[in-house]
């Protein structure tokens, strides 16, 4: 078989002195943008001579000459019957399309950040929008949308799983993150990302020390022990002989609040609520409001739960337990920036609905109270977008205690809790509220 070597024209194109020409043309054509000429150089004398020979120039070009693609096409076609683009592809390699690649990468980044902004956890707790914006400002991890999305997915999974149920951090990590008990260790990128989100939720500075990190994790129910994490409840009269039902009933019949530890809530024993009508359990943010309710209603207090600010693992566990047994949850908190964030957190973590927490309720409260402190950092209220606008317009906070009389009237309208339960008399007193 006869093998033919390169033609004289091809040998001319392959001269080492022309390598800078082909490399520059390849780079410009790979931009994906229209190219009419390229600038070379600086060229040495042998490179200038080779370029002059290729283009048929009667004198040496400049040290940094411009070469038009049209002239280069003519010269290459005359030598070997190909276009300059074809010759460059053979001499250097396949052309890229960096413009298209940049557009693809921009589209991937835009899709990633749109996904983060629209994620259920971020939408349910709008305070996390600031955290999402900080993630976007920090940019991609290793220039990779895929790696970045994977890390954010893990962070969002952890946030959705909080508050933890008095579990150590490695246990939380293993439960949420496919068995990787070290995924949330201090030296991990994921741990820093979740802690920044928690700091944003609580409107605190990102933790700077190991003690700060432990404190922030503890607020999210991590490594709380089952006895120190407690929640206040009043007026709960469940059915059953389990320890939780008995403790709640004894305190309700005495007109006292029950401080229920997480350990008791996790092992309630026999526990049921009356099914008809479905019980309504009101939830407040501040213990002082519960104290006012007990002072007014005593042993006749309707079912009431207090989160004592940010709900801990015991509070969320109790709300979920009540909802699972048919209770309708109604939540009220402070009209300030933190109160709105706490309410959004409660609505995300438990099936509760707002109780006098609309923009109209806020305006009515402002109208009947003296101006208070500024509301602080405000974020969107998912249940009523007008609420944050109204609070911004008025520029004043209304703490829950200032509307306690309205809340107590709502509780009075609910009626007293029954002081008996099936099969067992509990109290012989008539079921009516004491006179005011």
CATH code assigned at 301: 3.40.1360
**Do 377 and 254 reside in the same domain of the chain?**
yes
Residue 358 lies in a domain: yes
End of a domain among 199, 219, 239? 219
Same domain for 340 and 263: yes
Tell me, yes or no, whether 174 lies in a domain.
Answer: yes
Domain annotation covers residue 279:
yes
CA-wise closest residue to 245 among 341, 318, 354, 153: 318
Total number of domains constituting the chain = 3
- Does a structural domain hold residue 420? yes
Does 143 lie in the same domain as 212? yes
Q: Could you tell me if 301 and 363 lie in one domain?
A: yes
Range of the domain at 129: 101-219
Q: What is the pLDDT of residues 242-275, one digit of tens each?
A: 999 999 999 999 999 999 999 999 999 999 997 6
On whether residue 155 sits in a domain, the answer given is yes
> Which pLDDT score, from 0 to 100, does residue 309 have?
94
Domain check: are 194 and 275 in the same one? no
Look at residues 158, 189, 219 and tell me which one is the last residue of a structural domain: 219
Each residue's pLDDT, cut to its tens digit, for the chain (436 residues) gives 455 667 887 888 889 999 999 899 888 888 888 888 999 989 999 999 988 889 888 899 999 999 999 999 898 898 888 888 888 888 888 888 777 778 888 899 999 999 999 999 999 999 999 999 999 999 999 989 999 999 999 999 999 999 998 889 999 999 999 899 999 998 899 999 999 999 999 999 999 988 899 999 999 999 767 888 999 999 999 999 999 999 999 999 999 999 999 999 999 999 999 766 778 999 999 999 999 999 999 999 999 999 999 999 999 999 999 999 999 999 999 999 999 999 999 999 999 999 999 999 999 999 988 777 899 999 999 999 999 999 999 999 999 999 999 999 999 998 665 544 444 444 433 344 443 3
Are 91 and 124 in the same domain? Answer: no
In this structure, the answer to whether residues 287 and 363 fall within a common structural domain is yes
Q: Domain boundary residue among 81, 96, 111?
A: 96
Establish if 369 belongs to a structural domain: yes
Contact between 83 and 73 (Cβ < 8 Å): yes
Q: Rounded to an integer, what distance in angstroms lies between the CA atom of residue 362 and that of residue 387?
A: 7
Same domain, 149 and 135: yes
Same domain for 181 and 105, yes or no, is yes
Q: What is the pTM of this model?
A: 0.74
Residues 29 and 136 reside in one and the same domain: no
* C-alpha distance from residue 292 to each of 231, 342, 431 (Å): 17, 21, 19
**How much is the pLDDT for 187?**
84
Q: Are residues 34 and 82 in the same domain?
A: yes
Q: Does some domain include residue 434?
A: no
pLDDT in tens, 139-178: 999 989 999 999 999 999 999 999 998 889 999 999 999 8
Identify whether the C-beta of residue 232 lies closer than 8 Å to the C-beta of residue 177. no
339/321 same-domain check: yes
Residue 1 included in any domain: no
């Amino acid at each position: 078989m006869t093998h033919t070597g390169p033609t004289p024209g091809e040998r001319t194109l392959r001269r080492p002195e022309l390598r800078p020409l082909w490399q520059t043309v390849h780079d410009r054509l790979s931009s994906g943008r229209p190219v009419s000429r390229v600038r070379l150089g600086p060229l040495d004398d042998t490179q200038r001579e080779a370029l002059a020979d290729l283009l048929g120039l009667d004198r040496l070009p400049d040290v940094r000459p411009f070469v038009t693609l049209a002239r280069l096409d003519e010269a290459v076609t005359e030598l070997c019957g190909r276009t300059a683009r074809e010759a460059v592809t053979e001499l250097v390699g396949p052309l890229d399309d960096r413009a298209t690649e940049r557009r693809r990468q921009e589209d991937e980044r835009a899709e990633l950040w749109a996904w983060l902004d629209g994620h259920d956890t971020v939408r349910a707790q709008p305070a996390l929008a600031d955290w999402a914006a900080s993630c976007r400002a920090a940019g991609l991890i290793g220039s990779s949308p895929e790696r970045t999305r994977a890390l954010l997915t893990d962070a969002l999974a952890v946030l959705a799983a909080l508050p933890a149920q008095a579990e150590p951090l490695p246990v939380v990590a293993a439960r949420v993150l496919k068995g990787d008990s070290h995924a949330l260790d201090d030296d991990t990128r994921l741990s820093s990302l979740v802690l920044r989100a928690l700091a944003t939720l609580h409107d605190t500075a990102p933790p700077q020390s190991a003690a700060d990190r432990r404190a922030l994790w503890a607020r999210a129910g991590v490594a709380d022990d089952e006895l120190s994490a407690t929640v206040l409840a009043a007026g709960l009269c469940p059915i059953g002989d389990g320890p939780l039902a008995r403790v709640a009933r004894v305190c309700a019949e005495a007109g006292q609040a029950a401080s229920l530890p997480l350990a008791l809530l996790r092992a309630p024993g026999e526990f049921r609520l009356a099914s008809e009508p479905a019980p309504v359990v009101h939830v407040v943010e501040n213990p002082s409001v519960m104290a006012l309710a007990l002072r007014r209603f005593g042993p006749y207090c309707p079912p009431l739960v207090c989160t004592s600010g940010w709900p801990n693992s015991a509070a969320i566990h109790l709300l979920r337990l009540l909802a699972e047994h048919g209770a309708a949850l109604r939540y009220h908190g402070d009209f300030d920036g933190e109160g709105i964030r706490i309410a959004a957190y409660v609505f995300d973590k438990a099936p509760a609905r707002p109780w006098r927490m609309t923009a109209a309720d806020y305006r009515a409260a402002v109208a009947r109270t003296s101006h208070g402190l500024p509301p602080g950092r405000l974020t969107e209220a998912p249940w009523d977008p007008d609420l944050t606008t109204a609070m911004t317009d008025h520029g004043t906070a209304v703490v829950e205690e200032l509307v306690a009389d309205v809340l107590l009237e709502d509780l009075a309208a609910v009626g007293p809790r029954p002081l008996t339960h099936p099969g067992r008399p509990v109290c012989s007193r008539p079921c009516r509220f004491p006179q005011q």
